[in-house]
Amino acid sequence: MNRSASHIGVRNLTIAYGDFVVMRDLNFTINRGDVFIIMGGSGCGKSTLMKVLIGLKSPATGQVFYNDKSLWEIDPTDRQQIMQRFGILYQSGALWSSMTLAQNVGLPLELYTGLAAGEIHDLVSLKLSLVGLAGFEEFYPSEISGGMRKRAGLARAMALDPEVLFFDEPSAGLDPVSARRLDDLILELRESLGTTVVVVTHELASLFAIGNNSVFLDPETRTMIASGDPKQLLAESPDPKVRRFLTRGEE
């Protein structure tokens, strides 16, 4: 596999809700096998950017390329096919509330694999145990805690062994040990399956541990003010806002 080929490219992207511009002039490239971090202050538009990257919200102007295909210029059925290769963890978990955890994780498998019920059952148990939820198969989302919902969402995102995983604040609401395990899991997925991972996060520890590329969004200027390896940004970025963020404001 070509490790440094561009997987997702963002060109002159402006995103807006109606007349309200959330972010403008975004340009960055996510390479195959990257763990790419989207960071920035609360409310600056990280989740919105993720929605545009995964094909849920159309950009005001500019383009998102996926394997050199412009996501918003191809026809919807093609876009739909591309979206099926994404695994997504939403900020709120977004589990289907009328289904048990097993059904939540199993639905993508049912729809797209044609596996027998028994095999699906085994796969579901495996994915749930990967996120530490073995034994919770028959629980409904309303019967588990927020952090557990997040982890179940993660298991669902991984169900189809996607090409790209998008995580919106995966470790928010998790204890340090689970958060650490999640980081290990992300790195493991990248190593073993070559998955590209896009993570929205504020957690400095995990951001430095897993990220090898990033973009920093600034709510004041409404655009990106830095990009690159977070460790390098910490060492070299001349921008005081970026430094303040990466050092918890201690510099």
Partner 1 sequence: MRAISFQQSSEETLLLKLSGPWKLGSDLPTVEDVAGRIASGRRVRKVAFDAEDLGNWDAGLLTFLVKVRDLCRQKNIELDSRGLPEGVHRLLGLASAVPEIKDTGKNQVRERWFARVGDRTIEAVRASREVLEFIGDATLTLAKLAGGRVRMRRSDLLLIIQQCGADALPIVTLISALIGLILAFVGAVQLKLFGAEIYIASLVAIGMTREMGAMMAAIIMAGRTGAAFAAELGTMQVNEEIDALKTLGVSPMEFLVLPRMLALVLMMPLLAVYADLVGILGGMAVGVGAFDITLTQYAEQTQLALNTRHILIGVVKAGVFGIIIAVSGCLRGMQCGRSATQVGYAATSAVVTAIVWIIVADGLFAVITNVLKI
Ligand X SMILES: Nc1ncnc2c1ncn2[C@@H]1O[C@H](COP(=O)(O)OP(=O)(O)OP(=O)(O)O)[C@@H](O)[C@H]1O
Binding region for Mg ion (CB under 5 A):
47, 91
96 binds partner 1 (CB under 8 A): yes
What is the three-class DSSP state of 204? helix
Any residues with CB less than 8 A from the CB of 33 and at least 6 apart, and which?
A: 1, 3, 7, 190, 194, 195, 196
- Please classify residue 147 by burial: count the beta carbons closer than 10 Å to its beta carbon, then call 0-12 exposed, 13-18 middle and 19+ buried: middle
Judged by CB, which is closer to ligand X: 9, or 45?
45
86 binds partner 1 (CB under 8 A): yes
Contact window for partner 1 (CB under 8 A) among 104-112, 122-130, 208-216, 231-239: 104-112
26 binds ligand X (CB under 6 A): no
47 binds ligand X (CB under 6 A): yes
Q: How many other CB atoms are there within 10 angstroms of residue 125's CB atom?
A: 16
161 binds partner 1 (CB under 8 A): no
CA 7 to chain CA centroid, Å, is: 14
Q: Which does 193 bind (CB under 5 to 8 A by kind): partner 1, ligand X, Mg ion, none?
A: none
Judged by CB, which is closer to Mg ion: 32, or 51?
51
Place of tokens 């650490």: 180
Work out which of 51, 150, 151, 243 binds partner 1, going by CB under 8 A.
51
Q: How far is CA 16 from CA 28, 52, 77, in A?
A: 18, 10, 24
Q: Where do contacts with partner 1 occur on this chain (CB under 8 A)?
A: 17-20, 51, 54-56, 80-81, 83-84, 86, 88, 90-98, 107-108, 111-112, 156, 219-220
